[in-house]
Amino acid sequence: MAAASATRSAEVPKAPSLLLGIGLGGFIDGIVLHQILQWHHMLTGDGGGEPLDTVAGLEANTLVDGFFHLATWILVAAGSALMVRAWQRGELAPPWRMHAGLLLAGWGAFNVVEGLIDHQLLGLHHVRDDLGAPLGWDLGFLALGVLLVAGGVALWTSGASLERRIAHAGAG
């Protein structure tokens, strides 16, 4: 038992949880910000060139939003496939703290990368394209991403630490 517990952290697959976090973070962005709140779509910023208030703009944005959702679905499907493959190889599922931590870190990484590239560098859209000064919302989105990554890493680390303590207790 001690040997199994001691090697558990090394055997725990990390990529599935991280990919699921990135994909689910994208879904949250697309469903909540694009569809429910309708604050922006993929191309509503100055760099995107497709307005929110015309039929042609909404058609173009709906198409690109669909491709965005397809990409997030592919990430979730890839994370799920990797998870099933790991289980088929007999690798242990991560403890909930480690799994939840990597999910949060993946979501945060999505926010940071998407916020820096789409919002700041390319200007495709901003968190609130329906407002005249979106920078504050963009910075808040980036801050949330950093907090999610930090919280996720802390949760993952605490789970790994707990696993080591359990392994040492089982060895003694």
142 belongs to a structural domain: yes
21 belongs to a structural domain: yes
| 132/15: higher pLDDT | 15
3 belongs to a structural domain: no
121 belongs to a structural domain: yes
Based on the structure, what is the number of domains in the chain?
Answer: 1
Indicate the range of 22-26, 72-76, 96-100, 149-153 predicted with least confidence. Answer: 96-100
For 48-61, b/e burial (b = at least 16 CB within 10 A) is: bebebeeeebbebb
60 pLDDT band (50/70/90 cuts)? very high
90 belongs to a structural domain: yes
- Answer for the pair 107, 99: CB distance below 8 angstroms, yes or no: no
34 belongs to a structural domain: yes
4 belongs to a structural domain: no
Give the distance from CA 36 to its chain's centroid.
19
- Residue 24 is part of which domain span? 10-171
